[in-house]
Structures are given as C-alpha cells and as structure tokens.
Structure 1
Amino acid sequence: MNGFPWESVIAVLGLAVPVIAALWEFFLAGRKRLGYRVQMDTSARDSATSSGPEAGVLQRMQWDGAHLRDPSVALLRIENVGWTPIVEEDYVAPANDAVGIRVAFPGRRVVGMVVTECSHTVLRDFFTPGTPGLGATDGVIRLPKVKLNRRAHYKVLAVLDRLPGFTETDFPDPQVTAGIVGGVRGGTIKRTEYYPFASRPVRWLLALLVLVSVAQSVSTFARSEDAMAAPLDCAEGTLHLTGSTAFKPVLESAAEQYTKTCPGARIPLSDSQFEGSVPGLDALATAGDKAKPKGDEGLGDRLTFSDGPKSPGRTRLLPRPVALSLFTLVVNKDTGVQDLSLKQVRDLYAGRITNWEQVNGEDLPVQLVGRHPGSGTRTTLQRQVLDDRPLPAVTTSDCRGMDMSRSNRCEVNKTQTLLNTVTSTPGALGYSEVGLAEAHKDVRQVRIDGYPATLEGADQGAYPFWETEIAYTYGEPPADSIAAGFLRYLANEVGKDIIRAEGHRPCSELDKPLVCRPSGS
C-alpha cells in the first residue's frame, strides 16, 4: 500500500484495544469500587385521586400521630462493583465513627427505613436493631461499615415525607456520601447502572474493537477487489501488445480486466498494433534490438502474439504457447455453398476451380479474398489446409475494383476488412478466426469434409484449420515485469475464461500443453 500505512495502524489498534480493555476491567476498574443504584424513588401524591380502596393507603400513613403530607418511597441498592472485597478499614471515616455511608434526601425527611434484601444471609448481622452506625436522623440515613465481597449488595427501603418549607414539585435525587481507601477515582462512591454485559468504558472499548475489525475487513475486501485474479500477477507499468489480428479480441478483453485488477498497469491498444503476426514479430525484434538489454535479461514491457511459430532466424524471440485457435473458411451467401472437401478447397486455391457451379454452387466466378503476407491466419491456411502449397498470384490490388465477370484474387491487411469484403463481393471466398466470423453475421462459414470449425473436431484430428497462438517475448522478461505478470494472468482461471469466451482453448487444457497440439494431431 502506498502512502500512509493505514493497515499497520489498524493492526496495532486491533492488538491494543483488547489489551486496554483487559487492563481497564481487571486492573483499573477491578480495584475497590463502592457503588449505589436508585432502583425506585416514587411519590404517592396522586394516590387520593386514584380508584380502589387501597389507593390512599400511603396518604393515610402517620408519623408522630400526624398524617404524612406528601409521602414517597425510595429503594437504594448498595453494592461492591469492583473485583476486590471491601472491609471496615476500607471506608474513609474515623476509626471511632461506625457510619460508612450517609444518604440524604433534600426536601424530604426520613419517616422510616429498613434493609430489605441482602445478597448473602451473613450480611443481615450488620443490620440488627441497635447496630452502631445504623439509623436515620434529620432526613439522613446512616449505614454501617459493611464488609462486602465482590458483587455483594444490600438494599435499603425508605419511606419519606415532604418538608414543610420545600415547595418544588419534584424532589432532587438522593445524595449518597461515602469513600473507599484505594478505590477508583479517589474512592468516592459512584452511582452505577445495570450492566448486563460490561461497564460503559469497556463497552466503548469493545465498540472500538468492532470498528477496528470492520476497518480491517473493508481493507482486506478492497485489496481483494483490487487483485481479484491473483495478486502475484499484478505489476505496474505500461505493456505494449502487437501481432495477430485473430487474437486481438482476446487481448482486448484480457487487457481491460487486467488493468481493472491491477490499477498500476496500463495496456494501451489500437488497430495499428495488430497488423498481423509477422509485423508484430518484426516490431518486437526491432524494440529489443534498440533497447539492447544486458545479458540474459529481456524486455519486460512488450509481448507479441502470433498465429503459429516464428521463422527460425529470430533467436532472441522466446515462445510461450497460450491457446489453440480455430479458423474457418467464409463465403458470400450468394455462392450457395456450405460444405467443401479438403480436395475442393485445395483446387479452389490452386485455380483449378474458378466457378462455384463446379462444386454444386451458384453460377458465380470465384473471388479469392486473402490476407497480406505476414498474416498468421494466411500462414496457417497454407500450412494446415493447403499442405504448404503456394497461393495463386494476386490479380488485382483493389478488392473493390475487381472484374466480377471472371475469377480474381486480392488481398487486404486485416481480418475485419476481409470479412467486410467477402460480405459485399458476390462469389467471394476468404478465411478468418472463428470468433470474428461468428460475430460477423453476413458471411457463411464453410465446413471442411463435413466438419464445422469446433475444438472437438480439431482435437479428434478431423478438422484441419487450427493453429497454436504463441506469445513471444524478447529474451526472458523479469519475473516482476508487467509482461511476465500478463502472461501469468492469461494462464490463470480468469485469463482462461476470457480465452474460452472468445472461442479458443487454453493450452493448459490440451493433451500436449507444452507444444499446444490437440490429441488428434
């Protein structure tokens, strides 16, 4: 990751947060902590207007022979919320003072009080009548210095009445005063809340831990999307691709996906880069000779794709079989032909058949539309279909200006141009990579000896018009270069899916992957 190391910061936080939470809970918050909760504090001033014979019972309560003016009831819970016991010596009070906790109710006097609940029966011994430090005086409840084990508690129920001079509608909260030696935050007793899981600070820390985990997950997910194929395939830089027009659709799709996977990669594409296999090999050799890489090091920014092997003289160009590519003969639909024998195909290209009527087609002169020298598809046709026989001479340099009253032969520079020419020329015969021919709906593919252009037919040795698509590098590219990364990408699952989608078969799926030959060859 470039820039600020956010992932390292997140990882440190991921370790620090649980450590801080543990230190807080078990060491800081785990010291002596005395707390209280006001579980109930309610007035009975509206009881006289309520229905039912029991509604005014609190109003009828008396103290010193007089009815209570505005009675209320409060229930307090005193508890040890720390992790260590509290003993008498822990209370912040003089040794001769038996009172450990004082509870005042501003605006009210204490009519009566009682300890109603103890977490353990032994605590009741601290609240027997006459116990020093227990009682209520002048509106203040006094509680003795009670020993409390961890999580121990007791409750105090108090009946209160409004003081004559207090005129506010609502009563202030009870004021609880106590202190513990060595306690948290100076040992002052604190009002607590019910924590079904953990204390509030710990919950904040745990929430932070969740956020850290989410941040790590988001970071991991983002990196996974940035490297959806395989992170080791990614490389930075600009890659220049040249060569076969037949393999161009595969390279366009693969380049688009690779640059999405690897943001640091650039693969500019244009029609001028794909003029044919031989021009692509020439461009690669020229770039290598100009760069003059040292020793055995090769170019890491250039690849050329060729329909078939290079010529023997190019010793610095190293081959890597990529895919088995299928090719097909295509005709203008007006020819009336759908199937040709291998002998008929050879006779057509030898000039012995000049009218489609000779092969049970329409009465139209045969117009041979081919590719310029250097085309890998043209070389494949000659080697695989025509048994290395030479092609007839070109009769016109302008395919659009042919004399349609007789048979002709012309050449174009690109497969797409060839398909367009076959479509617009009555009696035309040409050849193309299968994927491009299928996408061009206005031409008709021709079977050879009854076999269509399928990978199964090539694999069984029945269909002859195929070739190995080979990637060439100038020398051995560095392992971390974009050329090496792109080659690995084509060999992994994403790359193989792209190759199959364009009608080719990855070499790794064939019986002879090192030479990329089908089993029937």
Structure 2
Amino acid sequence: MDVFRWEIILAVLGVVVPIAAALYEFVFVGRKRLGYRVQMDTTATDAVHSQYAGALQQLQDGDGTRLVDPSFVLLRVENNGATHIDNDDYAALPDDKVGIRVRFPGRRVAGMVVTELGDDFLRPCFGEDSGLSVRDGVIELPKVPLNRSAHYKVLAALERTGEEENGARAQFAPPEVVGGIKGGVGNGGIQETRSQTGTSWRAIALICFLVLVVLGQLAVSLGEDDTTAPLDCATGTLTITGSSAFKPVLQDATEAYRKTCPGAEFVIRTGAGSDGLETLDREGRKQGSSSPAHLAFTDGEKGEGHPRLLPRPIAFSLFALVVNEEAGVQDLSLGQIERIYAGDVTNWEQLGGNDLPIRLVGRAYASGTRRAFEQKVLGGVQEPAPTSDDCRNPGPGAVPGPVRCERGSTSGLLDAVERIPGALGYSALGEAAERRGLRLVSIGGHRAGPEEADHGAYPFWATEYAHTYGEPPADSLAAGFLRYLTNEVGKDIVRSHGHRPCGELRNPVLCRPTEQARPSLSPSVAPSPSSSPGGGGGRGVTGRQAGPPAGGTRDSVVRVAES
C-alpha cells in the first residue's frame, strides 16, 4: 500500500495543524500571561468651544491650580493566560509590594483611582498598605493575584509637562507599563493586549489553511478513476417476500444497496413467512433448474417441507409482548401469559392491572412471529382461534374467554393494539419500540434485550433466515444482496433495527443464544392446578387450529422499483 498518498497526507495535515495551533496557543504560549489594555487616552480640552463644558474646563490640582492641558487614561490590567497568577509570580523583589509601574511621558499624574474590579474579593488588594501609590509621576500598582480572565481598571487624570513646539501642542506619547511575571510568555514581561472586535488573523489563517486542505482532497478525489463499481454489485430485479417483522431492515438495506449499485432494483412483498416460502418454492419450480431472482425471509426455521429451499441465518431477532398502555401492566410471568391465552384470565384487574377486558391481537396462522411466540412463550401450544373481526366484540358462536382477532402484518397488529384499550399482542422489538401508545411487557421480570436473551433469561426470540431456491449464482443479485446483508454496512442496518447480526454471536452458524433453556415458572407466579383440566399450569388451550383461519396473510407491495 502506498503510505504517501496525497489524500492521506492532506488528511494528516488537516488534523495535526489545528491540534498543534491549539497546543501552542493555549498550553505553551497562553499558559501564564499578564497583560494590559489602554481603553481610553484622551484630552479633556475642547477642540470646539462649548458652553456645556462645565467642570471639564475647571479641572484643578489638589492645591487649586488648574491643570494644564488635562487628559484622562483608563488602563485595564488583566490575566489573559490559561493559569492563575499569584503574588509570588510577579517578577519583583520579595520585599517590594509593587508589581506594576506605569509612567506617562510628557505628562504628570494629577490623580488616580481604581475604578473597576473584575471580582469583588480583589478589593483588599488595594488597601492602604498594599503598595498602591503615585510616586514621582509614576503610578505604582500592587502585586494583585488574578485568576483566569480576572482584571481591574485604573483611571488616571494627567496634565501636560512638556513644552510646546512651534506654538503647537505635541501629541501625547502612549503610557509605559513596566512589570512582569515569572515563567510568563517570552521574557515574562507584561504585554499589551487589544480588544478583539473581529476575527483574529490567526483564526483567519487557520480557516484558510483548512479550506485549502479540503480543496486539495477534493482535487485529488476528482482526479482518481472511480468509474469501476464495487465487485459485489449486481444488476437486475430481485423480489423479496416473507416476514413483515424484518420489513424495515429490508427496506433500508435495499435502498442502501441501490445507492451503491444503481443497476439493482427490488420488489418487496411482506406478510407471513410461510407464504413467502410458498411463493419462492412455486417460482423456483416454474424456473426449472436455475435459481430464480427471489428471496424469502422467515422468523425461525422453515419447518418440514420445501426441500429445495436453502436457509441462511442472517440475524438474531428479539420479539416483545406489547400491551395498550391503558391496561396498567408492565410485567407478566410465563404462567400468567399462558393463563391469558388459555382463557382463564379475561380482565387485567385479575392480574393487578386496570379494570379492562383483555383483547388478544395475534398474527395469522402462517406468520413466523406467531410461530416463535407459540414455541418460545406458550411452550408449543397454539393460540386459540379468532373470535372477532374488529378485535373489540366477539363474533357469533364465540367461546368464553378473551376476544381474539388476527392481523396479517406487524404494522397492522401494532395499530390494533395501540388503538384498542386492553389489547395485548406481540411483534418484533425494533418496530414495537417506536410506537408511543404501546408498552413493552417484560416476561418474568426480564426485558427484551440481547444480554437477557444471550443468557437464557428472556425467551421470546427467533433466528431470521433468508431462503433461496437452490444455490444462486455467485454473480447474481440474490447472492450479492445476501453478502451485502452480512458485511459491515449490512450489519449496521440490521443492528439499527434492534436485531443482532449472526456474525456477532458466539456461534454464527446456529445464530442463537448460548443458553436456550426456557425459564422455569417460579412458585409465586405459577398458575393453579385448577386452571386447566390436567393441572398443566394453563397449557390446556383447546381447539387446536388445523390450518390458516379466515382472513389469512395480507401481502402488500411496499415498494416496486422503477424499471
């Protein structure tokens, strides 16, 4: 690899130079600094005679003598460094109380007063024995300890002492400030600072440098040959069917793939995982020996049948029980959940919640999410048959127990639970967590999370599989998209929707938790023997469903790419 590539050099300069400038300014140069600023230096005589001059025309010395060509100077002394300045930091003899001396060439000090203190606790520093005085026309200022950004101001009234030259007044020379600190900038002497009203030349120079770096990187990138597409890019149209729980991942992943590979188009139809397998198997048989441009995703294994479909684990998916927030419950044990679906509990008040009837919203018979719920949460027992179409009122001939309805997609189920008071359902964790009107229910005191599932504490999970009809060609869009889902970009997309890429688990091939034991029921929450005919703790759900109920999976084309 060529280490000395121009883009690398420019990137390093763009990082190193600002860091070096900051270190120089704030660590080395600006670490300890004593400064002063002349904020005003003006005469008190009028350039144009005015009747409103008043006392300014009558300024007098202490003995009543009027000042000659009087002037005023306002001096600000400040700590403009990065550390504080103590009494011992002044570059003066230990027994000398004076830290700074100010003289005014051509002028005499007629009066002086400290007019402003940056901090009120500086007031004792200017007491009678502090060293503050005027001696031989020189203002002597004491050794004042100054924290960062602390300051004080001195106002001096002056009169001219120099002679006029050729009948004209000579311009006053600026004040001479003498003082210093130990270990300060340069020789440690006090430095004149200026009020910053605009952008400093150092900042402008640094900005210009960074602009040149960016323009240089742009020129280098434009000069490179980027006409070749990534090796994994494939063209054509790929149809994706199956799990609606994995739909958000598929939407984002296909959109990102299209941006990388503009020649690729995708058609996504989601609903129930079993229906996606049937569609893939049917299309593969029509195609013959070659693999069709078709993928099917399922929540969990495909089960028996479809011997020509090859599964590939993609992600470890977490699911969650969701309840309408008006139900007033946040945690249910496995025994309580089983009793609800067995029909033994019909009102949330029986479990310590609000006085609302329980309404169960489930997925269709072919749904992989429903299959995961039955296997992981209900212990292999199927959900009861639907008794309602609107999820509120039981239909004719409904058996006693909670009202139960079915929806053909994850979003449809979440909409129903969010809308109907007392409703209970289940869905993929990522999509459920985005709904405001729902509450995620912990199972046995354990919330839905990767760590809880990894250690066998949280039972509601499934492996997300992608299925192909036979082995797709290596250069096909189906194979390229599967590789894309398992590389770094695809992993980021999978992870952003609450799933875990299989490659991040301890056993990527199996793509499941390290411990799979279903949590046992604690005696305090186990159902009573009388809750089912055989004392089975609420497992006695009757009426085993033999096939898909009425109103089966509703497939919808969520996006058809333009041809």
Could you state the TM-score of these two structures normalised by the residue count of structure 2? 0.51
Change (3 A) 1:267 1:219: farther
**In 2, Cα distance between equivalents of 1:221 and 1:448:** 56
> Which residue in 1 is equivalent to 2:379?
387
**In 1, Cα distance between equivalents of 2:501 and 2:363:** 26
| 1:492 corresponds to which of 487, 491, 498 | 487
Q: Does 1:303 align with 2:277?
A: no
**In 1, Cα distance between equivalents of 2:234 and 2:408:** 33
Aligned pairs for 1:401-420 within 5 A: 401-402=393-394, 407-420=402-415
> Which residue in 1 is equivalent to 2:88?
none
Deviations 1:275-308 (A, max 9, x none): 1101111111111111112xxx422x11111000
> Which residue in 2 is equivalent to 1:236?
235
Shift of 1:402: 4.6
**In 1, Cα distance between equivalents of 2:410 and 2:383:** 18
Shift of 1:393: 2.2
> Which residue in 1 is equivalent to 2:278?
282
> Which residue in 2 is equivalent to 1:72?
none
Which structure has more helix as a fraction of its residues?
1
- Are the aligned partners of 2:333 and 2:444 in contact in 1 as well (CA < 8 Å)? yes
**In 1, Cα distance between equivalents of 2:465 and 2:220:** 42
DSSP-derived class of the 2:298 partner:
strand
**Which segment is superposed worse, 396-405 or 441-450?**
396-405
Shift of 1:490: 0.5
| 1:452 corresponds to which of 443, 447, 454 | 447
Change (3 A) 1:406 1:239: same
Change (3 A) 1:482 1:216: farther
> Which residue in 1 is equivalent to 2:471?
476
**In 1, Cα distance between equivalents of 2:223 and 2:311:** 39
Shift of 1:520: 2.0
Shift of 1:322: 0.1
- Are the aligned partners of 2:344 and 2:401 in contact in 1 as well (CA < 8 Å)? no
> Which residue in 2 is equivalent to 1:423?
418
Deviations 1:116-137 (A, max 9, x none): xxxxxxxxxxxxxxxxxxxxxx
Q: Does 1:316 align with 2:313?
A: no
Deviations 1:464-521 (A, max 9, x none): 0000000000000000000000000001000000000011000011111111111122
- Are the aligned partners of 2:359 and 2:391 in contact in 1 as well (CA < 8 Å)? no
Matched residue type, 1:388 = G
Q: Percent identity?
A: 54
- Are the aligned partners of 1:489 and 1:495 in contact in 2 as well (CA < 8 Å)? yes
**In 2, Cα distance between equivalents of 1:435 and 1:222:** 37
Aligned pairs for 1:50-61 within 5 A: none
Shift of 1:219: 6.3
Aligned pairs for 1:321-360 within 5 A: 321-360=313-352
Deviations 1:303-351 (A, max 9, x none): 1110001122110000000000010000011111000011111111111
Deviations 1:128-151 (A, max 9, x none): xxxxxxxxxxxxxxxxxxxxxxxx
- Are the aligned partners of 1:321 and 1:470 in contact in 2 as well (CA < 8 Å)? yes
- Are the aligned partners of 1:232 and 1:485 in contact in 2 as well (CA < 8 Å)? no
Deviations 1:203-241 (A, max 9, x none): xxxxxxxxxx99995364634xx85xxx22211111111
Runs of 4+ in structure 1 deviating by more than 6 angstroms, as ranges, are: 213-216, 403-406
Q: Does 1:222 align with 2:226?
A: yes
| 1:363 corresponds to which of 329, 351, 355 | 355
- Are the aligned partners of 1:365 and 1:406 in contact in 2 as well (CA < 8 Å)? no
- Are the aligned partners of 1:335 and 1:362 in contact in 2 as well (CA < 8 Å)? yes
**In 1, Cα distance between equivalents of 2:218 and 2:439:** 57
DSSP-derived class of the 1:239 partner:
strand
- Are the aligned partners of 2:315 and 2:499 in contact in 1 as well (CA < 8 Å)? yes
Shift of 1:407: 2.6
**In 2, Cα distance between equivalents of 1:370 and 1:214:** 55
The number of residue pairs the alignment matches comes to 297
Change (3 A) 1:351 1:479: same
Deviations 1:413-458 (A, max 9, x none): 1111111111111111100101110111111110001111101111
> Which residue in 1 is equivalent to 2:496?
501
Shift of 1:399: 2.3
Aligned pairs for 1:34-45 within 5 A: none
Q: Does 1:259 align with 2:258?
A: yes
**In 2, Cα distance between equivalents of 1:370 and 1:420:** 12
DSSP-derived class of the 1:399 partner:
coil
**In 1, Cα distance between equivalents of 2:454 and 2:352:** 30
Change (3 A) 1:390 1:214: closer
Change (3 A) 1:303 1:232: same
> Which residue in 1 is equivalent to 2:428?
433
Unmatched 5+ stretches in structure 1: 1-212
Change (3 A) 1:253 1:482: same
Matched residue type, 1:427 = G
**In 2, Cα distance between equivalents of 1:363 and 1:391:** 24
DSSP-derived class of the 1:232 partner:
coil
Shift of 1:397: 2.8
Matched residue type, 2:356 = L
| 1:399 corresponds to which of 372, 380, 391 | 391
**In 2, Cα distance between equivalents of 1:402 and 1:336:** 23
Aligned pairs for 1:21-100 within 5 A: none
Rg bigger for which structure?
Answer: 1
Deviations 1:177-223 (A, max 9, x none): xxxxxxxxxxxxxxxxxxxxxxxxxxxxxxxxxxxx99995364634
